[in-house]
Chain A
Amino acid sequence: MTSKPPTDMPPLLALTDYAIRFSTPDGAVKAVNGLDLAVARGETVAVVGESGSGKSQTFNGVFGLLSGNATTSGAARFEGRNLLELTPRQLDEIRGADMAMVFQDPMTALNPAMKIKHQLAETLRIHKGMNRRDAEAQALAMLKKVGIPEAERRIEQYPHQLSGGMRQRIVIAMALLCRPKLIVADEPTTALDVTIQAQILDLFRDLTGEAGTALVLITHDLGVVAGIADKVVVMYAGRIVEEAPVDALFARPAMPYTAALIRSIPRVDRDVEAVEPIGGRPPNLLHPPAGCAFHPRCRFAQDKCRRERPPLETIETGRRAACWFPFVDETSGREPMNAEIAGA
């Protein structure tokens, strides 16, 4: 896959003790807590979690897109600059130029009253100071690159005249126009058919591979990240509960929640009699459970899990997990989490 950057380079994006709180009429919601997360140059990081795990809010905060009742704390450093301390104008210079976002619903991400060419060219004119002709020429080249058929005709059209898959390609083209160092894609394929999803994932793989762009892929579906991610970060109830290189995560999940997520995915390539759902529901963040937030749904939970919250600790090189009883090796006293998966 993509070559791993040397580890001594400073990360492109580094979140340290990063937290987001929302004040609501019912009290404070701690949506994201004490997050430490690094994205290296050229790396593809998948951020996986259920609805409400804080995965989208984390990056909305990085891009300064949170609603008015939100407060952020800690640091979110992009190339060393703490984005949380920048003025809106300073942030505007980075957003869309050095880091770009691709949203789940491409229709709402595009201006319905603007032709495609104007939306695309706008980015280049603002960030690169290009004239209209050059900007439109470059926009057309980018549309061809992301695989829009009949790009010359499509660029003259409005968003409603395009299919969902094509609109998502336009949004991706727009994100790529200024050659950003980081793209954050929030559920970019969830609204699309599997065939179009596969096309979009192929596109991301090609683009990050050749341009060295770092990609953060936010999704609830562990299945889609297997073929594209270098590293996977699993979030639960506003915290990172596991982080691992993609192969290790699927082969040897350390945290029961990760293992349960993997076991809940149906397989298209083999017959399985049943998938194993995760019982219960994610916790209400207004009243998070004591101890480990996953303990009410965890079949390995013990007294300690109900009382004390496990810290996120390094369990191997490049692997972290927040669990009092992670599966690390045979001596941990617990059966490998993946034994049942491997035997399936």
Chain B
Amino acid sequence: MPETLLSVENLSTVFDIGGGNPFAKALELKAVSDVSFTLEAGETLGIVGESGCGKSTLGRSILRLIEPTHGRVVWQGKSLTDLSVGEMRKARRDLSIIFQDPVASLDPRMNVGKIIEEPLKVAEPSLGRKARRERIEKVMEEVGLAPEMINRYPHEFSGGQAQRIGIARAIVTEPKLIVCDEPVSALDVSIQAQIVNLLKALKERMGLTLIFISHDLSVVRLVSDRILVLYLGRVVEIGPRREVFANPGHPYSKALLAAAPIPDPAIARSREKTPLKGDPPSPINPPSGCAFRTRCPIARDVCAEKLPPLVDVGRGHRAACLFTGDVRADEAIAG
């Protein structure tokens, strides 16, 4: 029986936003609503969704970089959400994050060595200067950076190399879980592949567990064992990669798959036009019932009335759609 490393239970993160009028009731933005899932050791969970669906907020709430409003995050049997600040700091050596913008996430006034050293100083304060230096050089080699670059500054690096620095910083404390928040979205396609392969190799070598957040389904397909699809802060589908890609249970997942480009001219030309019209609705005032109904090609009246629960559709695959049977019976997407 594989070990459950992380368990997210009914997690919600709500932001209070002012409406400009100090006497009016503050507006609430539900960035993450009632999200639950578990993660086994060594697994990679891909979290996908459009801008504003709450995927980055979810990743950060799990690490308490943003404090969640409700729910629990249980890490190896311990509730992270109940830890004091000091205890949380200790727990952080097991939990790491890689950010989207590789250059902006590095302090421009710190050299590479200092950037990578920072989390190590916090996690292992007893480590001497020489031992720290050795660890830094070792992780630099692991991520494909020449140790001679240790005194260089972030602006001297290209996006791909800067992301390698970000990865080195994330793995220097030898964490167990890394949240990768759109780690390749800012990079050229040719460089994306380098970083994806590096993450996969590190995962194997270090036995890492990954949460891989991306809006790009083709990248997610490449790295993930399981897929979680978010729409307006809620889980609309979760399941093993093969199941979700081969037979999506939610019309939103299906639309996302149909919209992703395919690098094959014959297939690309033969595909239907994207069925998804317009933008996602505002999370401040989400539609009643199923939030996707305003863009859903198969929505009916009942979809406005009740929130569809996540139901089991077999093989560890769940979808939150009242008509998931119709979605799955329908012809699979092109390709």
Interface residues of A (CB under 8 A from B): 1, 50-51, 147, 149, 163-166, 193-199, 201-202, 220-224, 226-228, 246-247, 250, 260-262, 264-272, 274-279, 281
Q: A198–B196 contact, CB under 8 A?
A: no
CB-CB nearest in chain A for B200: A274
Which of A197, A260, A267 is B190 in contact with, Cβ under 8 Å? A260
Q: Chain B contacts of A196 at CB under 8 A? A: 50, 279
A-B CB contact pairs (8 Å), 17 listed = A51-B159, A164-B51, A166-B279, A194-B256, A224-B261, A226-B264, A226-B265, A226-B267, A261-B189, A264-B189, A265-B189, A266-B193, A267-B218, A268-B217, A274-B200, A275-B222, A278-B190
CA distance A221 to B154 in the complex (A): 26
Q: Which A residues are CB-close (under 8 A) to B274?
A: 195, 198-199, 202
Total A-B Cβ pairs within 8 A: 147
Judge whether B193 and A193 touch: CB under 8 Å.
no
B250 to chain A, nearest CB (A): 14
- B244 CB to closest chain A CB, in angstroms? 12
CB-defined contacts of B197 to chain A, threshold 8 Å: 274-275, 277
* B219 located at the interface, meaning its Cβ lies under 8 Å from any Cβ of chain A in the complex: yes
Q: A223-B262, A266-B222 are in contact. List 16 more A-B contacts (CB 8 A).
A: A147-B277, A193-B50, A194-B217, A195-B259, A198-B261, A220-B188, A220-B190, A222-B263, A250-B263, A265-B263, A266-B218, A267-B263, A274-B222, A277-B190, A281-B158, A281-B160
| Main SS class of interface, B | helix
B260 to chain A, nearest CB (A): 4
One of A164, A220, A274 near B189 (C-beta < 8 A): A220
Report whether A247 and B50 are in contact in the complex, using a CB–CB cutoff of 8 Å: no
Candidates A165, A227, A266; contact of B268 at CB < 8 Å? A227
Instruction: Name the CB-closest residue of A to B222.
Output: A266
Task: Check A270–B271 contact: CB distance below 8 A.
Answer: no
Instruction: Tell me which of A165, A267, A271, A279 contacts B279 (CB under 8 A).
Output: A165
Complex CA gap A266/B197 in Å reads 11
B133 interfacial contact with A, CB 8 Å: no
Residues 177 to 192 of chain B near chain A (Cβ within 8 Å): 188-192
Q: Are A50 and B335 in contact (CB under 8 A)?
A: no
How distant is the Cα of A161 from the Cα of B151 in the complex, in angstroms? 44
Asked if B196 and A275 make an inter-chain contact with CB atoms under 8 angstroms apart, the answer reads yes
Chain B, residues 207-236, CB within 8 Å of chain A (1/0): the string is: 000000001111101100000000000000
- 4 tightest A-B contacts by CB? A227-B268, A269-B335, A277-B193, A198-B259
